[in-house]
Amino acid sequence: MTDLERELRATMIEAGERVPVVEDLVSRAAKPARRRRTWLASGLAAVTMAAVGVAIAITAPSGNETAGVSTPSTSASTQTQTGALIGNWRPVDIVGFDNSALPPPGLPAGRAPNITFTSDGRWRGSDGCNAIGGTYSAGDDGSISTASGYQTLIGCINVPNSEVLERAARFAIDGRSLTFYAAGGQRLGTYERV
Amino acid sequence: MEFDEYVAARGQQLVRLGYVLSGDRYRAEDLAQTALMHTYQHWRRVRRMDDPHAYVRRVLVNAHVSAARRSSSREAPLVMAESAHSEPDPALAVAEHDAMWRALAELSPRERTVLVLRYYEDLDHASIAAVLGIKESTARATVSRALAALRAAHDPAIVKGAGDDHDRP
C-alpha cells in the first residue's frame, strides 16, 4: 500500500467518525415502510384485478370514479395526449390518501407536492418535502409507464406521488385535469395543471 | 437477529459509509434510511442471508450511485451544493487529511465509490464488482483510474506525467 493509499484510508476513517450519531434509524426505516404497506394493502384488490383487467382497461379505462374525466380514445384529440402531459401538476385527489392534508394551491413550487413531466422522458417533483423523480414513457393512446429513480428520503407525511406513478398504466387529460389509472382501470389519483 | 438488533449494531456504520461516499451528513442519513427501509421491507429474507450487512451495504451504495448519476445529469446543485463544504470540519485539523478530503470530492461519484469500497470498506476487487454489478476487471481498472485521479487532484505538481497507479506520490 502506497503512502497515498494509507492517507486515503485514514482520511476516510476519520471523516466517518465525525458523523453525528443518528438515534432514530429504526423508526425512520420502519415507519415509512409501514405506511407504504398500508397504502399498498388498500390497493391490493386493484392489483389482483390487474391480471384480468388489462383488456377492460384498454377499452374502458374509467372506473366508477371517472365521471367528468374524459378517457383516452381514438378521437382527434389523441395526438395531443402525450404532449398535454408535459408540464407541472399538483395533486388534488389521491386515492387512499388523506386529501385534506394536501396544501392549497398557490404554495411556492419548491415545497408544494407536485409532478412535472418533461419532454425528455423524465419526471420530477416533490411529495411535499422530498425530491422525487424518474423516467416515464407515455403513448398517445393514454398508456404510461414510469420508473422511479432519484428520491431523497426525509421522514414526513408524504404525498404518494411516486406510488401513483409506479402503478399508473393509463392517464387521461381533460382540460386542466390529469387522472392516472391502474392497469385494472381503477383511478389512482387526479392532478390539476399548475 | 431482529431488525432493530441489526440497526443497533450496524446502523451508524451505514451512516458513516453514506458520509464517506457523499461527503454530506444529511445525504448520509438519507442513504442509511433508504437502505434500511428497503431492508425492513425484506427483512425476513435478508436475515437469513450469510452476510445481511453486505446486502444492506450494497443497497446503500447503489442508491448513492444512482442518485449521484441522476443528480449530476439534472440537478447537480441539489446534492453537490450540500456536500463536502457545507459542513465545517473542526475535528479535522490535520491539513493533510483536509487536502485529501477535498481531492476526494473532485472525483466522479463512480471513482469515489470504488475508492471508498476498496479503502474504507476494505473490499477486494471481486467484492467491489459484486456490490456494483460490474466485472472484476472493470472494478480493478476503475480503482486504478480513480487512484490516479485522486493523486492528480491531491497534488497536481507531483503527478505530472505519471499514469501508473503504482507510482508513489
Predicted confidence at residue B149, as pLDDT, reads 94
pLDDT for position A122: 86
Measured between CB atoms, does B39 come within 8 Å of chain A? Answer: yes
pLDDT digits (tens, 9 = 90+) for A103-128: 777 666 556 788 999 888 888 888 87
Residues of A in contact with B36 (CB under 8 A): 25-26, 28-29
* Nearest Cβ partner for B168 among A2, A12, A15: A2
Q: CA nearest B11: which of A153, A152, A22?
A: A22
pLDDT beyond 60 at B102 = yes
The grid coordinates listed for A78 are 389523441
Chain A residues closer than 8 Å to B92 by CB: 14-15, 18
For residues B80-89, average pLDDT: 38
Mean pLDDT, residues A59-69: 38
Q: B154 to each of A188, B85, B141, how far by Cα in Å?
A: 52, 16, 20
pLDDT band at A129 (very low <50, low <70, confident <90, very high): confident
At residue B130, the pLDDT reads 93
In this predicted structure, the answer to whether residue B165 has a pLDDT above a threshold of 90 is no
pLDDT of residue A30: 74
The CA distance from B23 to the nearest CA of chain A, in Å, is 9
pLDDT value at B145 more than 50: yes
In the stretch 140-169 of chain B, residues with CB closer than 8 A to chain A read: 147, 150-151, 154, 166, 168-169
Residue B59 C-alpha cell reads as 443497497
Compare B152 and A83 and report the one with higher pLDDT.
B152
Q: Do B25 and A37 touch (CB under 8 A)?
A: no
Q: Which of B41, B67, B78 sits opposite A33 (nearest CB)?
A: B41
In chain A, % of residues over pLDDT 70 = 66
Q: Which whole number is the average pLDDT over B33-51?
A: 89
Its pTM stands at: 0.51
Highest average pLDDT, of A21-30, A80-89, B3-12, comes from B3-12
Alpha-carbon span B117 to B21, nearest angstrom = 9
Chain B residue numbers touching A5 (CB-CB < 8 A): 119, 147
- Burial zone of B164 (CB within 10 Å; 0-12 exposed, 13-18 middle, 19+ buried): exposed
pLDDT at B95 (0 to 100): 56
Predicted local distance difference test score (pLDDT) of residue A59: 37
| Chain A residue numbers touching B151 (CB-CB < 8 A) | 4
Q: Report chain A's mean pLDDT, rounded to a whole number.
A: 72
pLDDT band at B128 (very low <50, low <70, confident <90, very high): very high
| 3-state secondary structure at position A138 | strand
Count CB-CB contacts under 10 A for residue B41: 17
Does residue B154 carry a pLDDT above 90?
no
Cα–Cα distance for residue pair A103/B75, rounded to 1 Å: 25
B114 three-class SS: helix
- pLDDT band of residue B144 (cuts 50, 70, 90) is very high
**pLDDT exceeds 80 at position B119:** yes
* Selected residue with higher pLDDT from A147 and A94: A94
Q: How confident is the model at residue A38 (pLDDT cuts 50, 70, 90)?
A: very low
Mean pLDDT of B5-29: 92
Q: For residues A102 and A127, is the Cβ–Cβ distance under 8 A?
A: no
Distance from CA of B131 to the nearest CA of A (A): 18
Q: Which residues of B touch A31 (CB under 8 A)?
A: none
- Comparing A85 with B68, the larger pLDDT belongs to A85
* Partner residue opposite B97 with nearest CB, options A11, A16, A19: A11
Q: Are A151 and B38 in contact (CB under 8 A)?
A: no
Q: Which pLDDT score is estimated for B110? A: 92
Helices B136-154, B125-132: inter-axial angle, 10-degree rounding: 100
Where residue A161 falls (left for φ over 0; alpha for ψ -120 to 50; beta otherwise) is: alpha
- Most trustworthy range by pLDDT among A29-33, A34-38, A189-193: A189-193
Are the beta carbons of B103 and B150 closer than 8 angstroms?
Answer: yes
Q: Measuring CA to CA, how many Å separate B48 from each of A73, B1, B11, B130? A: 50, 9, 18, 19
The predicted structure's pLDDT at residue A124: 86
**Chain centroid offset of residue A69 CA:** 20
Which of A57-61, A166-170, B13-17, B85-89 has the highest average model confidence (pLDDT)?
Answer: B13-17
Question: Average pLDDT in the A22-28 region?
Answer: 83
Determine the average pLDDT of the residues in B28-38.
Answer: 90
Q: What residues of B are in contact with residue A22 (Cβ under 8 Å)?
A: 11-12, 15, 29, 32
